[in-house]
Amino acid sequence: MTQLKIFEIFYSLQGESSRVGLPTIFIRLSGCPMRCHYCDTAYAFQGGSMMSIDVIMRSIQKYDTRYVTVTGGEPLAQKEVLSLLKVLADANYEVSLETGGGLSIQEVDSRIKIILDIKTPDSGEEKKNHWDNLNTINAKDEIKFVLCSREDYEWAKKIINQYQITQKCSVLFSPVYQTLQATDLGNWILEDQLPVRMQIQLHKLLWGEKQGV
């Protein structure tokens, strides 16, 4: 029986991506190979409970929404997540996968919307970016840059240009909570006329930085 280590399953408003504001089921897997300086889910590095896919599917049936986000930690660190993603898609959920971008997305079911981080220098994990993922990304997916500083912003602009990312999929720029002023990032995007979507984490505006939202 296929099992995954699950830290939590909860129902909330999607706080990020093009699906922001939509009532969504979140399935958070335990464990992550990265240690970004700004990580807001370090509590999920350890702990959690083993759950079968059948149990996971039964536990989400009580929520009246078609949207599911599989997140972490780093969900792709557990290879069994590929089976879970397929089962969710087979059940006609609209599924997004949030991944830190350090592991290959090549085997992810093609029906899944991938939200892929590209780690900036100030994250401390730039060297772990799996650049081959940019050959797999397609138009339904989204690439996210979490920015700590003006230096991160300038670096992200160069990466977008180098890999022609905005021609592949939508690009998200997100300021690190309580580190980079959202107004500053918004002004920079407008000054440079960048074709990116700026996002502020809605769930943190509503409920603060805490678990289960």
pTM: 0.94
177 contact partners, CB below 8 Å, separation of at least 6:
38, 40, 201, 204, 209
- Taking 90 as the threshold, does the pLDDT of residue 104 lie above it? yes
- Mean confidence (pLDDT) of the chain: 95
Where in the chain are the domains?
Answer: 3-207
Q: What is the per-residue pLDDT for 12?
A: 96
Span 107-166, pLDDT tens digits: 999 999 999 999 999 999 999 999 999 999 999 999 999 999 999 999 999 999 999 999
Residue pair 122/175 in contact (Cβ under 8 Å)? The answer is no
Architecture of domain 3-207 in this structure: Alpha-Beta Barrel (3.20)
Report the DSSP pairing between strands 197-198 and 170-175.
Answer: parallel
